[in-house]
Amino acid sequence: QHYLARIERLDPALNSYISVTAEQALAAADQADARLRAGDAGPLTGIPIAHKDIFCTDGIKTSCGSRMLDNFIAPYDATVVERLRAAGCPTLGKTNMDEFAMGSSNETSFYGPVRNPWDTERVPGGSSGGSAAAVAAGLCAAATGTDTGGSIRQPAAFCGVTGLKPTYGRCSRWGMIAFASSLDQAGVLARSAADAALVLQAMAGFDERDSTSADAPVPDYGTTLESPIDGLKIGLPKEYFGEGLDAGVAASVEAAINEYEALGATVSEISLPNAPLSVPVYYVVAPAECSSNLARFDGVRYGHRCEAPADLEDLYKRSRAEGFGAEVKRRIMIGTYVLSAGYYDAYYLKAQQLRHLISDDFRRAFEQVDVILGPTTPSTAFALGAKTDDPVAMYLNDIYTIATNLAGLPGVSIPVAPAEGMPVGLQLIGDVFQEGRLLNIAHRLQ
Ligand code: GLN
């Protein structure tokens, strides 16, 4: 009731929810109460959360921020949703997001932009901007998100919350609407690393319904949260501290580095020489995969269908023209182009080769250091509308987050000292399946 009342009072100004499921949430809270009384409660029993509207939720609208799915009621729960429900979390609703998770500001949503709770004239980041804003404004205790190129970490940074993108395959993608399948990963936005650890614990683990989910044991993240970090070797990639990094963000990150040194960590400069290629590589690979994944929205099986189609061709064309927004169309066109005969070798194949080089950079770095540290974003949250006419400027927002997805690695963004009153995110990147270590290192600073 506390959260539902806050949503009613505060969300009209923020627009962080697409759907609020008050009745179901209260029913689930009653069930949680019964479990508590029966002495059968786990750590998340009765903790109200929200799900990004990219996760299928049984009987509840799942729009993916698109007109295309404005009428789509999912017939089943995504694995992540199912697991959090089983852990006893009431679902408050579904959070706003960039259309099909394509964007960095939440401005591509069919349901209108989300506003940053710190300054409502600014964006919350994207694509999990609704989840980040809802957590920051106290409209849920934690929220799920997805991160294909930065969509958990960048909005977490802009809204001053903790956002964890796990290793590719750590959480099941089953029931999570696909954008770029080789990059997409479910994760969590929460008020602290300790909270994120609890939620990840419930979400993570093998799922036979997702062939890319990792069949690896899930460690107990809670037991290592407090582990000491003296002797920890932190690497600072020089490519993440150069030109383009806002001075206020740099100062906050540097102050955090000093705190880590005071806690006994050692810091050294490293290089990820191919990191500057990650944005161009991503904008070939991600659109290629999206053009294929989004082919299923044809106006026939589900989603938007145009009025009175003249024939099948007209049905496809008009349903897609009406159902998708401009950014999604741009990506489908780029993706179709880079996969087409004659261009495949020059673009798609080349991008895949560079993706390997980017991964190799990280492999070499983790021979030298335990964790990589840098800013999450080059700047703090920007004004609504500031980058909507310039897709490339928008894409550059993810310059520090995208390489991690290309390499499949886990990353976490945690809030550090604000710059000019706006939150700043510090990013920690770990080797595969090092979520526990990342949460531990994040927790030590909180
Ligand atoms: N901002 C990036 C994009 O627009 C990443 C989005 C994401 O991680 N889903 O594709």
- Please work out whether the CB of residue 335 comes within 6 Å of at least one atom of ligand 1: no
Domain range enclosing 298: 280-345
Torsion-angle region of residue 93: left (phi > 0), alpha (psi -120 to 50) or beta? left
Distance CA 367, CA 226 (A): 25
Q: What is the mean pLDDT of residues 343-361?
A: 96
Q: Please give the mean pLDDT across all residues of the chain.
A: 97
Q: Closest Cα to atom 4, ligand 1: which residue?
A: 103
pLDDT of residue 170: 98
Domain edge (last residue) among 305, 321, 345:
345
In a domain, 103, yes or no: yes
Query: Does position 305 have pLDDT exceeding 90, yes or no?
Result: yes
350 domain residue, yes or no: no
- Residue 381 DSSP code: P
Q: What is the mean pLDDT of residues 61-88?
A: 97
Residue 139 in contact with ligand 1 by CB distance below 6 A: no
241 within 8 A of 250, measured Cβ to Cβ: yes
Q: What is the CATH number of the domain that holds 157?
A: 3.90.1300.10
- Mention every residue, 6+ apart, whose C-beta is less than 8 A from residue 316: 298, 299
How does residue 318 score in pLDDT terms, banded at 50, 70 and 90?
very high
Nearest atom, ligand 1, residue 151 CA: 8
Mean pLDDT to the nearest integer, 319-347: 96
Bridge partners (DSSP) listed for residue 55: 176
Based on the domain organization, do 244 and 332 belong to the same domain? no
What tokens were used for 107? 């401005």
Answer yes or no: is 140 within a domain.
yes
For residue 393, the model assigns a pLDDT of 87
**CA 399 → CA 149, 228, 393, distances in Å?**
9, 31, 10
User: How many whole angstroms from 192 Cα to the centroid of ligand 1?
Assistant: 23
Last residue of a domain, one of 324, 345, 366: 345
Q: Tokens standing for 446?
A: 């909180």
Q: How sure is the predictor about 14, in pLDDT bands with cuts at 50, 70 and 90?
A: very high
Catalytic residue among 16, 52, 63, 94: 52
401 CB less than 6 Å from ligand 1? no
Query: Is position 128 annotated as part of the catalytic site?
Result: no
How far is it, in rounded angstroms, from Cα 362 to Cα 407? Answer: 8
Claim to verify: residue 336 and residue 362 sit in the same structural domain: no
Look up 127 and say whether it is catalytic.
yes
Identify whether 278 is a catalytic site residue. no
Ligand 1: nearest atom to the Cα of 102: 4
Pocket test of ligand 1: the residue of 105, 108, 151 to mutate, having most ligand atoms within 8 Å of its CB, is: 151
With beta carbons less than 8 A apart as the criterion, state whether 262 and 398 touch.
no
Among protein residues, the one with the nearest Cα to ligand 1's atom 5 is: 149
| Contact (CB, 8 A) for 169 and 214 | yes
Q: Tell me the C-alpha distance between 424 and 202, whole Å.
A: 28
Tell me the per-residue pLDDT of 375-391, one tens digit each, with 9 for 90 and over.
999 999 999 999 999 98
Does ligand 1 lie within 6 Å of residue 148's CB atom? yes
Confidence grade of residue 302 (pLDDT, cut at 50, 70, 90): confident
**360 and 335 housed in the same domain:** no
The CA-atom distances, in angstroms, between 164 and each of 157, 313, 371 are: 11, 43, 15
- The pLDDT score that the predictor gives to residue 209 is 98
| Strand, helix or coil for residue 437 | helix
Same domain flag for 321 and 287: yes
Predicted local confidence at residue 128, as pLDDT: 98
Say what percent of the chain tops pLDDT 90.
98
pTM over 0.95: yes
Considering 316, 345, 374, which residue would you say is the last residue of a domain?
345
Choosing from 63, 109, 128, 151, the catalytic residue is: 151
Phi and psi of 189, rounded to 5°?
-115, 130
Confidence of residue 294 (pLDDT cuts 50, 70, 90): very high
Residue 151 lies in a domain: yes
- Give 121-132 pLDDT, tens digit per residue: 999 999 999 999
Render the burial of 178-193: b for 16+ CB within 10 Å, e for the rest.
Answer: bbbebbbbbbbbbbbb
* Judgement on whether residues 195 and 46 belong to the same structural domain of the protein: yes
* CB distance 398 to ligand 1 below 6 Å: yes
The per-residue pLDDT for range 248-292, each reduced to its tens digit, is 999 999 999 999 999 999 999 999 999 999 999 999 999 999 999
Does any domain span residue 50?
yes
What's the domain count of the chain? 2
- For the segment 231-239, the average pLDDT, to the nearest whole number, is 98
For residues 192 and 333, membership in a common domain is answered with: no
Q: CB–CB of 105/15 below 8 Å?
A: no
In this prediction, residue 239 carries a pLDDT of 96
pLDDT at 40: 93
- Give the three-class secondary structure for 348: helix
Residues 372 and 263 in one domain: yes
Asked whether residue 76 falls in the same domain as residue 40, the answer is: yes
Q: Per-residue confidence at 51, pLDDT binned at 50, 70, 90? A: very high
* Judgement on whether residues 260 and 296 belong to the same structural domain of the protein: no
Neighbours of 368 (CB within 10 A): 11
Ligand 1 center to 180 CA (angstroms): 10
Please indicate, yes or no, whether residues 386 and 337 belong to a single structural domain of this protein: no
Assess contact for 410 and 165: CB atoms under 8 A: yes
Q: Give the angle 376-289-281 at the CA atoms, nearest 5°.
A: 50
Residues 118 and 146 in one domain: yes
For residue 179, which atom of ligand 1 is closest to its CA?
A: 9
| Same domain, residue pair 427 and 375 | yes
The Å distance, Cα 250 to ligand 1 centre, comes to: 23
What digits encode the pLDDT tens for the residues 196-211?
Answer: 999 999 999 999 999 9
Q: How far apart are CA 282 and CA 400, in angstroms?
A: 12
> Does residue 354 have a pLDDT over 90?
yes
